[in-house]
Amino acid sequence: MKPKKIPMRMCVGCREMKPKRELIRVVRAPDGTVSLDATGKKAGRGAYVCRSAVCLGRAIKQKQLERQLEVQLSEETAAALTATLAELKALPPEPEADA
């Protein structure tokens, strides 16, 4: 039995590499809407941030999310992402389904 390789992704807020399951995916759907993807399975272009309001806030303020997703974030969208993260933070990380 080989040890399982942990998929790593970079948080666009603090720019640290972390295990994917500790991060949350932000996805730009084909129709241009941006949302948090708690399951990691939504279609579209994705970026990852820590499950932290600090990292998400930084990613939004420093336009890292916009750059990564190639999209303009409205204030409404940014506020919705922050609110969704606050809800998700109460939940444990999703188990890796595709590993």
Among residues 43 and 54, whose Cβ is nearest to Zn ion? 54
73 touches Zn ion (CB under 5 A):
no
Nearest distance, CB of residue 16 and Zn ion, angstroms = 6
Using an 8 Å Cβ cutoff, are 45 and 35 in contact? no
Say whether residue 50 binds Zn ion (CB under 5 A).
yes
Determine if 14 is a binding residue for Zn ion (CB under 5 A).
yes
Contact 50, 18 (CB under 8 A): yes
Task: Give the C-alpha separation, 29 to 21, whole Å.
Answer: 21
- Residues of the shown chain interacting with Zn ion in the complex, contacts defined by CB under 5 A: 11, 13-14, 50, 55
